[in-house]
Structure 1
Amino acid sequence: MHPTAIVLLNLGGPASLDEVQPFLLNLFQDREIIKLGPAFLQPLIARLIVASRLLEVRTRYASIGGRSPILPETQAQAVALAQALAETGHPMEVRPVFRYSPPRAGGVLRELAGLGIRRILPVTLYPHACNATTGSSMGELKREAADLELEILPGVQSYATDPGYLDALEALLRTTLAQAPGATVVFSAHSLPLKQIQGGDPYERETQATVEALKARLGDIPGGYRLAYQSKVGPVAWLEPSLGSVLKELGGREVVVMPISFVGEHIETLFELDIEYRELAGKCGVTRFLRVPALGTDPTFIGALAHLALQGLS
């Protein structure tokens, strides 16, 4: 057995409607993803926010099947990555590790240590470097690994302009755009509080780098390109423009929305994009609303992760 295992880092999500509340509490209590008042008050503020939003969020999950699909999808990505590595002569254990729902870092690392694993190679499923996502996941991973005397390698912490990642995105975008060649392409990324960007977080810069790289690959298109942000939470200032405001400007046009900060389907794509923003687009007079699918187990994307993982081992 290879002494190094790969863990795929992702946010996580509730596996049932009963798990929505603990998932939200774990998320809002993490000051690395969002600071809510002074540190000693954050647990209380988090509980108040969750109480106020619980019914709405449960309703959203109910509308997409009563759970997040992120666990089975990430498990499928882990299986695909393990197979791709084995085909190159590098068989390795590959496991999902979520930040706010099972499987959490502690349990996965204990299991891997029991198998004789001594080194962990983290591979993020957040394409763009961000302290609130990969940074927070790496922090928890290192804390849990210390007690088990496991070595955490630097790993793969972003790949905003990796050629293989861009190849996969380009192919999916071209396929969808072929259905509406005159459409405006709207790249949609998860938003982030402006304070975090102003504090030096690289997320906005890396997101824009992906967008510019894809625009260069596709060249000029009749409908042009826009970048927008979604999934804002709370009253503080977040990255703009919002996806809603951009859709309001595109009445009378066809629109192709491409989620570029998500590599799998979950609440932000299946509910926000496919239900909420599709409905808003219709109200705004958008004549056709198409959405590019997330990468999932796309072979080109999995191949890119395998290549990056092997680089991380060298």
Structure 2
Amino acid sequence: MQRVAVVLFNLGGPDAPESVRPFLENLFTDPAILRVPGFIRPWLGRFIAKRRTKAASENYAIIGGRSPLLELTEEQGRNLEAALNQSGQAEYRCFTAMRYWHPMSDAAARAVQAWEPDSVLLLPLYPQYSTTTTGSSVAAWDQAAAQAGLRVPTTTLCCYHSDPAFAAATAAEVQAAYGRARAALPAEVRLRVLFSAHGLPESIVKRGDPYQWQVEQTVAAVVGALTIPGLDHVVCYQSRVTPQKWIGPSTEAELERAGHDKVAVLVCPIAFVSEHSETLVELDVEYREEAERLGVPGYFRVPAQNSDPGFIAALRDLVLRTVAGSRRLCSFAGGRQCPKPFGDCPHAKAPARSKEMA
């Protein structure tokens, strides 16, 4: 029986208060994140990390001084592994490769090599592709795999933003949360859904990153799977960390608009599939306080998927389809999904690889 290693990519997060600063240094010295000349980046990245350590530490203190992301990702891996092995088509094992804190790609690649798989599937826990997330993780993995001497056929699933099963699983969470929010509100108070995604500098999108387009495709697919006629909803972006112009509208601006319109909000973290500081602190604490200050008549949130059975089943089906295919680079639907203007789509960057054996 074939042995398939499934490598789950995620951001990672500090596992103790003293890990916050080195985690931030890893983040801000990544060339995919801090796009400045290489000779400046190490100094500037450490400077930014130092300035942000105090605020970040205070945020992590709210949730126990550490990120829950590793435990949640490992739980997702265990559930996905069990679901995959029920298929009987191959022997699957899931591995975790975090980008900015342990276990990172070097440790994951050594663990995969020790297991001696026949093939590897790279599965980002980022539904939408960005050069700053999946792209950076793939680059780190390629380097780590080469250093570990891991030379087996490797397939990358670049995105699943509009996968019907993923959209349906997400819609089920939104539908349930909408029902709970509606039941808690007076009948005369309207309810608006804010599909909030992590933002990006506008310059990165203008250079061809498809992330914003893919986020919009996700929202369209999720809204289409809902049974809420005339849903009042908007796509917005959170977590701005640099002074340059970022894509919008911002989640803060949408909270202000909701306060002006006197509508309650249900916030759905549409680009996150695990709870972490951006959901547990930014959404649950900071934006809730901001909503109260702005007079928003109700603030509710859709939980992240974590190990929701529908989400795990969607990942299982994505893996099985991808492994059964012949492409070494593929989307949830096989070939390229992004329109041609998005030159940073991985299929545009590596057309020969995406068509290999197709």
Band the TM-score falls in, shorter-chain normalisation: over 0.9
Runs of 4+ in 1 over 4 A off after TM superposition: 219-223
- 2:181 partner amino acid: A
Instruction: For structure 1, list consecutive stretches of 5 or more residues without a partner in the other structure.
Output: none
Work out the CA distance in 1 between the residues paired with 2:314 and 2:230: 30
2:237 counterpart SS class? strand
Match of residue 307 from structure 2: 297
Extract unaligned runs of 5+ from structure 2: 183-189, 325-358
**Aligned partners of 2:109 and 2:150 also within 8 Å:** no
Distance 1:196 1:32 in 2: 10
RMSD: 1.4
- Cα separation, partners in 2 of 1:271 and 1:152, compared to 1, 3 Å: farther
- State, as a whole percentage, how many aligned pairs show the same letter: 38
Shift of 1:118: 4.3
Q: Which residue of 2 aligns with 1:171?
A: 172
1:34 corresponding residue in structure 2: 34
User: What SS does structure 2 have at the residue aligned with 1:142?
Assistant: helix
Do the aligned residues in 1 keep the contact of 2:63 with 2:281 (CA within 8 Å)? yes
Judged with a 3 Å threshold, the aligned counterparts in structure 2 of structure 1 residues 285 and 223 are, in CA distance, closer, same or farther, namely: farther
Moved more, 87-96 or 210-219: 210-219
Mapped to 1, the partners of 2:215 and 2:234 lie a distance apart of 13
**TM-score normalised per structure 2:** 0.85
Q: Which residue of 2 aligns with 1:189?
A: 197
Give the C-alpha shift of residue 152 in structure 1: 5.3
Contact kept, 8 Å, 1:127 with 1:159, in 2: the verdict is yes
8 A contact 2:20–2:57 mirrored in 1:
yes
Residue deviations 1:42-98, cap 9 Å, x none? 110111111111111000000111100000000000000000001111331101110
TM-aligned CA deviation for residue 143 of structure 1: 1.2
What is aligned with 2:281? 271
One-letter code aligned to 2:19: E
Contact 2:10 2:98 in 1 (8 A): yes
Secondary structure in 2 aligned to 1:117? Answer: coil
What secondary structure is seen at the aligned counterpart in 2 of 1:196?
A: helix
What is the Cα deviation at residue 242 of structure 1?
A: 0.7
Shift of 1:209: 0.4
Question: How many pairs were matched up?
Answer: 313
Q: CA deviation at 1:237?
A: 1.1
Alpha-carbon contact 2:27-2:100 (below 8 Å) kept: yes
Report what 2:87 is aligned to.
88
Give me the whole-angstrom Cα distance separating, in 2, the residues matched to 1:222 and 1:42: 47
The SS at the match of 2:258 is: coil
Name which of 252, 262, 270 aligns with 1:260: 270
Query: Which residue number corresponds to residue 335 of structure 2?
Result: none
The aligned runs of 1:44-193 (5 Å cut-off) are 44-89=43-88, 90-147=90-147, 148-151=149-152, 153-181=154-182, 182-193=190-201
- How far apart are the structure 2 equivalents of 1:280 and 1:221? 29
Q: Which secondary structure state, in structure 2, belongs to the residue aligned with residue 249 of structure 1?
A: helix
**Structure 1 residues 5 and 150, CA gap change in structure 2 (3 angstroms):** same
What is the rounded CA distance, in whole Å, between the counterparts of 1:115 and 1:208 in structure 2?
39
Per the alignment, do residues 220 and 300 of structure 1 end up closer, same or farther by CA in structure 2, a change over 3 Å counting?
closer
- For residue 172 of structure 1, report the CA deviation from its aligned partner: 0.5
- In the alignment, is the contact (CA less than 8 A) between 1:122 and 1:152 conserved in 2? no
Residues 68 and 152 (structure 1), Cα distance of their counterparts in 2 relative to 1, 3 Å cut: farther
Deviation at 1:20, TM superposition (A): 0.5
Following TM superposition, by how much is the alpha carbon of 1:223 offset from its aligned partner in structure 2, in angstroms?
6.0
Contact 1:128 1:207 in 2 (8 A): yes
Give the Cα–Cα distance (whole angstroms) in 1 for the partners of residues 226 and 8 of structure 2: 30
Task: State whether structure 2 residue 292 is matched by structure 1 residue 282.
Answer: yes
